């Protein structure tokens, strides 16, 4: 009788595990959002929205970039969605994307490659100018 109860508990646990493994989340969204997701999926040549949503969730939740977003959100005491929104707003409001696209086309690069190149070049110029200013300050301090 003890064995029967024990095997019954194992069967119940096994059923729970099977249900959990097959569990799929339900997303409630506006008709407009659903239409935009479908349009994006069609534009990408994928007729199903599930892979699109999975890739988006994986990017935000499991990728190294997603990990960085989560860490920034925690550090800034914001939710993950708010942190993502702030990052996108910062990028879109302050980066001259049209000019970057023009430069990219002129140099036969993709816009994302051009943006990385410009940031790295900007960092190099900035670091050199800071080093030059520090050297001038040190030189003028040595004269007095």
Quote the radius of gyration of the chain (alpha carbons, Å): 26
Question: DSSP E strands: which ranges in the chain?
Answer: none
Residue holding tokens 């890739």? 55
What's the mean pLDDT when you consider all of the chain?
80
Average pLDDT over residues 28-46: 83
| Global confidence as pTM | 0.49
Res. 137: pLDDT tops 70: yes
Instruction: Specify the pLDDT at position 10.
Output: 52
Tokens of 16: 């729970």
3: number of Cβ within 10 Å: 7
Question: Could you give phi then psi for residue 96, rounded to 5 degrees?
Answer: -75, 80
Task: Write out the two tokens for 74.
Answer: 């925690």
């Amino acid at each position: 009788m003890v064995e029967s109860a024990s095997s019954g508990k194992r069967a119940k646990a096994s059923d729970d595990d099977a249900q959990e493994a097959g569990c799929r989340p339900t997303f409630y969204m506006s008709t407009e959002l659903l239409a935009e997701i479908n349009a994006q999926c069609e534009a990408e040549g994928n007729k199903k929205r599930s892979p699109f949503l999975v890739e988006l969730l994986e990017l935000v939740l499991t990728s190294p970039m997603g990990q960085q977003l989560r860490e920034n959100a925690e550090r800034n005491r914001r939710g993950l969605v708010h942190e993502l929104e702030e990052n996108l707003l910062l990028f879109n409001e302050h980066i001259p994307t049209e000019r970057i696209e023009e430069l990219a086309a002129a140099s036969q690069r993709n816009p994302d490659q051009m943006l990385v190149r410009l940031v790295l070049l900007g960092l190099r110029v900035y670091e050199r100018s800071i080093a030059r200013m520090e050297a001038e300050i040190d030189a003028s301090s040595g004269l007095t």
